[in-house]
Amino acid sequence: MKTIAAPSWIGLAALALTMGGCGPPSPVSYDRNTKYRVDGTSSGFALTVDYSRSHFIPEPEAVEEACKNAFVTVAQHVAAKRGRRIQRIDEQQIATKLGSNEHNTVSYCTATGPVAWQ
């Protein structure tokens, strides 16, 4: 007698449903150009900021500066929402990654770094 096994995709679907909340948190919108994600640490939090804006002429330095400014602003926003204060952020500890999409004239930047509580 032959038995019929359930298709393997059923098991994969069940696994995906049970692990749906196990990944990193989804980015939260701060404003129309900025999204962020916060990951708690023992001394504060790790912050990831995604910043993008349209341009006529690519200005990577200006986008990177705006991205770092957004990082500091969002860090202060997150701390205020939690009723805490943060230490001064050292720009040397903010890692940035720049890119652009020539098809729709958008420049983007991702800034990541640690933020420590006072």
In a domain, 85, yes or no: yes
Q: pTM for the full model? A: 0.76
In a domain, 14, yes or no: no
In a domain, 13, yes or no: no
- CA 15, distance to chain mean position in Å, is 26
In a domain, 12, yes or no: no
Q: What is the pLDDT of residue 24?
A: 66
**Structural domain for 57, as ranges:** 25-116
SS3 string, the chain, reads: CCCCCCCHHHHHHHHHHHCCCCCCCCCEEEECCEEEEEEECCCEEEEEEEEEEECCCCCHHHHHHHHHHHHHHHHHHHHHHCCCCECCCCHHHCEEEEEEECCCCEEEEEEEEEEEEC
In a domain, 4, yes or no: no
pLDDT tens-digit series, residues 84-104? 999 999 999 999 999 988 777
Q: How confident is the model at residue 25 (pLDDT cuts 50, 70, 90)?
A: confident
**Across the chain, what does the average pLDDT equal?**
84
In a domain, 96, yes or no: yes
Tally of domains in the chain: 1
